A and B are shown apart, each in its own frame.
Chain A
């Protein structure tokens, strides 16, 4: 079993839809959870981060972490064509440990 599981998609939604992206993980010691957005042939950029369990909101984006279920989510409200990208979940243990990434979900928002 992979440490971090993420459905690669592709996921195609109409403009204005609410998008839900998810990852599951197997190691309960993960403490820091992140979502990155990656446009084609570019480096990933940090979108959201959360420490331990809880929710965090930033504009149209909401990140949720449920440590009891080992499940994290990213919600995108009022999706736009410019949101079309690959979304990568990532997480790491406490201390200065490297990030472990999911495989990424490719999202297309159709105008």
Chain B
């Protein structure tokens, strides 16, 4: 089945640590996105990529980094510079033939311990 896979489902980070969230899709979609969701805040855009080897900052990119070396993969690194990383992280993709919506993964819940 085609879809987006995010891993891990739950992730715990110690203070000062970098962690990487995985996002893989087999939908042959060109565009991929990372959103952060906090209670009562909706979804806020962190980074997005329209094509391999290219990406743009979203509204809340500080403290995060991404790479897009393969069409299928768009990993997100939460660095120690992100002061409040505890949140639910969602990855999404969109194909050029789909004019409207995104396909979302099932999310990764990151907690700082």
Contacts and interface: CB of A to CB of B under 8 A. Distances in A.
B40 A103 contact: yes
Interface residues of B, number: 29
Interface residues of A, number: 23
Nearest to B96: A96
Contacts, number: 58
Nearest to B88: A41
A47 to B, nearest CB: 9
Interface stretch (B13-21, B42-50, B62-70, B76-84): B42-50
Interface of A: 6, 8, 32, 34, 36, 41-46, 49, 51, 88, 90, 96, 98-104
19 contacts: A8-B40, A34-B100, A36-B104, A41-B107, A41-B109, A42-B106, A43-B92, A43-B106, A43-B107, A44-B43, A44-B104, A46-B101, A46-B103, A88-B42, A88-B43, A90-B43, A98-B58, A99-B45, A104-B42
